A and B are shown apart, each in its own frame.
Chain A
Amino acid sequence: MLTAEQLKEVLKENVINLRFHARGGQGGVTASNLCVEAFYGYGVCQPMFGAERMGSPTESYVRLSANDDLVRTNEQVYAPHVVAVLDPSLLGEIDVTAGLAKGGWLIVNTVLNQEEIQGVVGRKDINVGTIDATRIALDVLGRNITNTIILGGIIRVMPIFSTDALADAIMRRFKGEVAAKNIAAIKQAIEETCVYDIGLDPDFTIDTKVPWQQVFLGLPGYKEVDKAGVWYCDEDVIEIGSGQVNTGSWGEYDMIWDEEKCTDCAQCWFICPDFAIIREKGEDGLWHMKGIDQFHCKSCQNCLEVCPVDAISKKLKQGPASCAVPEDQEGGS
């Protein structure tokens, strides 16, 4: 682990990159903004560009240095030195350590221990910090919002900015009690972060970006893409169709269908935005509802609202995914 002084030396002529993994609505972008605001030098924060939806996996990037020309590039971050994961359910879904430098830090909101985390991500060459940010959030903030708390974990393992600087940034962004509570939560997080230090620090002079990574070799080339921007359902030209997206991981609830009550009216089938209502043609030649496709159901609850006979109900998800999706806004406010 490097001290604040050592890091200052590093930052004079090097860049430190951070990447945040969260779900839409959890405030990952706010966390990365706060890094830039709290840092004494120059910084850039970029979200992963695109459409962000509640509960969908998100990424945001931070680049920090005391040398402004080093962070002047608008390239995305390919080689983070620190990766922070706000939602443990992402560990099974996203390759969170992609590009993470040897000796870099992975900080996860989780109740698992550090060795277990190393096992989940399959990396022995990285340091791990874990923090039960969800519990701290519920205790101190009274709401399950972990984005500021995870920053405490970063200060603990890599003090690139001071607690005071972060507190200032938070006070500029949030008001009164909300700011105070967030600062208290961060202080508690610094204390409670469990550190698993493998005794190796990242070499900040090495660029670990895979050359031409942004071109995504392995996907079809221009000679292989189908004619005219058309993808036929029976041809797997582009593997990443919406059918492959696990929208099921975005939601808070498991939707439950009651076959007994269901009258096969098909209203849920019409309203479902993800084609997650499964129907099959029966021997009688008619279509019957068969259940809910949990891989794609994002628990929007449209079907529950529309069902005339209350044949659909919901149950809060258990396990690591249960901390997804706060009710209203992001940013711990």
Chain B
Amino acid sequence: MSIEPMRIFFKEIKEPITTTMIGNYAVAGGVTQTDPDVICAFPITPQTQSVEGLSDVVHQGRLKAAFVNVESELAAISFSTAACAAGARSFTATASQGYLLMTEALPMAVGWRLPLTMMISARAFNSPNLSIWNSWEFTETNSEMGWNCIVSENVQETYDAAILSVMISEDSLFPTMFVHDGFIISHSVQKLTLIPDEAVRQMTPKKPRHTIDPSKPGTWGGIVTPSYFMEGRKNLDEAKKPVLNQMREVFSRFKKFTGREYDLIETYNLDNSSKTAFCTMGSMCGNIISWMLKNKDIGLIKIRAFRPFPHEELRKIIEEHNIEKLIILEKSDSLNGMLPPFSMSIATALYPLGTLFRSFIVGLGGRDVTRDEFDVAKKKMALVSDMNGRLYQYLGVRETKGNIYEVDY
């Protein structure tokens, strides 16, 4: 890593450049290129370098943005939301407990239809112990507040997501968070191709929208009695309906500029002999794709758009490819529910189809997920023939010093 990791963004990028970077700096670079007016975040592992990187480019003078230091994540989200309401393109970032501390202010950016963007370096919540490593905290809470959410597999994707999120936010007028797995992507150096600044400028024009304007005074978020609140919520619900299509349009515009192809859901080898597919998000997709080189009898469904959840698209894919069994892998659990949150979304989508599935909870708190998990999950799924009994299980956890829970090896 160079002393000045952001140096490449200090001057105009004229041609696509292929380089290597950690995920967080790549995000800082992507955000730089979208020319934000306000950057306001509180550092938290494993998100830190994204904010540091941005402070570098602001300090160097390349990016003319207000870099605002605040005392907490609640302050960061409040400031970013207000700045966005005032008309500024704003960026913030967080993880884990910081995300929880933001909770109180998260619904406002949705309600006010603000195109705010936020990066999340996914990290476990502290329970029962503190962990700075990867879990999918972003699926566990706050995911029903109405933010858009896209999930990236690798450094290239998370860099692109920094730009895509601005496009999605601006088109939908809903805030968008983009997520990569903490440490696994935030801190690993990978190859990526940077987009020329001019292309980013063209993809992310600053469009007029409603903002706080002293010449047009009004009340933002004033109290309403029960005679109004529900209409306001339904108004938001309607506004959310076109968002998945808007995302698709964003992806196709992005492809025209970069040649890189994204979709709400991406699929691999679905027409396989076992009529079975893994379904997951984020960095694990890469692990599975490598493993699949030797396991050609199974497919992969990679969810990119986690919120809004593409129910119909998923259903269509399952039907078109006659998938009979899904192996859901997810990095969060649910101590109370029938299923952890990612699986819950999938189960709801699958309900009319009756597709068989099981959910495997893997990789919590940064435990590595390897071909061992995939082999066992695949074997277990082969034995499943109905939806009776337990629908999820932890995979890759010690039961005693001498054995692994429900794994014979």
Contacts and interface: CB of A to CB of B under 8 A. Distances in A.
Nearest to B212: A230
Contact of B220 (A49, A216, A223, A230): A230
Contact of A229 (B221, B227, B234, B238): B221
Interface of A: 49-50, 214, 216, 219-223, 225, 227-235, 238, 240-241
B227 A228 contact: no
A231 B219 CA distance: 5
Contact of B235 (A222, A231, A235, A241): A222
Interface string B94-136: 0000000000000000011100000000000000000000000
Contacts, number: 57
Interface centre among B111, B210, B232, B235 (most CB of A within 10 A): B235
Interface string B215-249: 01111111011111011101100100000000000
Given A50-B225, A228-B113, A228-B210, A233 B231 contact: no
Contacts of A228: 111-113, 210, 220
B212 to A, nearest CB: 9
Given A227-B113, A227-B210, A238-B224, A232 B231 contact: no
A230 B235 contact: no
A222 B216 contact: no
A229 B107 CA distance: 12
Contacts of A216: 227
B228 A230 contact: no
A222 B234 contact: yes
A221 B231 contact: yes
Nearest to A235: B218
Nearest to A216: B227
Nearest to A232: B218
Contacts of A227: 113, 210, 235
22 contacts: A220-B231, A222-B230, A223-B238, A225-B228, A227-B210, A227-B235, A229-B111, A229-B220, A229-B221, A229-B232, A230-B112, A230-B210, A230-B219, A230-B220, A231-B218, A231-B219, A231-B222, A232-B216, A232-B217, A233-B218, A238-B224, A238-B228
A218 to B, nearest CB: 10
B112 A222 contact: no
Given A225-B235, A229-B232, A234 B216 contact: yes
A321 B220 CA distance: 35
Given A229-B232, A230-B210, 6 more contacts: A220-B231, A221-B231, A222-B232, A225-B228, A230-B218, A232-B217
A295 B225 CA distance: 22
Contacts of B216: 232-234
Interface centre among A222, A228, A232, A241 (most CB of B within 10 A): A228
A247 to B, nearest CB: 15
A240 B234 CA distance: 20
- Top 3 nearest A-B pairs by Cβ distance? A232-B218, A222-B234, A228-B113
A123 to B, nearest CB: 24
Contacts of A214: 226
Contact of A225 (B217, B219, B232): B232
B112 A229 contact: yes
Contacts of B225: 50, 240
Nearest to A238: B228
B102 to A, nearest CB: 19
Interface in B191-216: 210, 216
Nearest to A214: B226
Contacts of B231: 219-222, 225
A235 B219 CA distance: 11
B160 to A, nearest CB: 28
Nearest to B229: A229
A241 B218 CA distance: 11
A210 to B, nearest CB: 14
Nearest to B219: A231
A228 B210 CA distance: 9
A50 B226 CA distance: 10
Nearest to B227: A216
Contact of B227 (A219, A232, A234): A219
A227 to B, nearest CB: 6
Contacts of A49: 226
Nearest to B224: A238
A232 B216 CA distance: 7
A43 B159 CA distance: 63
A278 B276 CA distance: 74
A220 B235 CA distance: 11
Given A225-B235, A230-B112, A219 B218 contact: no
A13 B232 CA distance: 40
Given A225-B232, A228-B113, A233 B217 contact: yes
A93 to B, nearest CB: 17
A197 to B, nearest CB: 36
A46 B217 CA distance: 38
A234 B217 CA distance: 8
B175 to A, nearest CB: 12
Contacts of A229: 111-112, 220-222, 232
Contacts of B234: 222
A222 B227 CA distance: 11
A16 B292 CA distance: 72
B112 A219 contact: no
A226 to B, nearest CB: 9
Nearest to B216: A232
A220 B234 CA distance: 12
A111 B225 CA distance: 34
B77 to A, nearest CB: 17
A223 B232 CA distance: 9
Contacts of B228: 219, 225, 238
A232 B213 CA distance: 10
B174 to A, nearest CB: 10
B169 to A, nearest CB: 14
A50 B232 CA distance: 19
B9 to A, nearest CB: 33
Nearest to B233: A222
B218 to A, nearest CB: 4
A20 B54 CA distance: 61
Interface centre among A230, A240, A241 (most CB of B within 10 A): A230
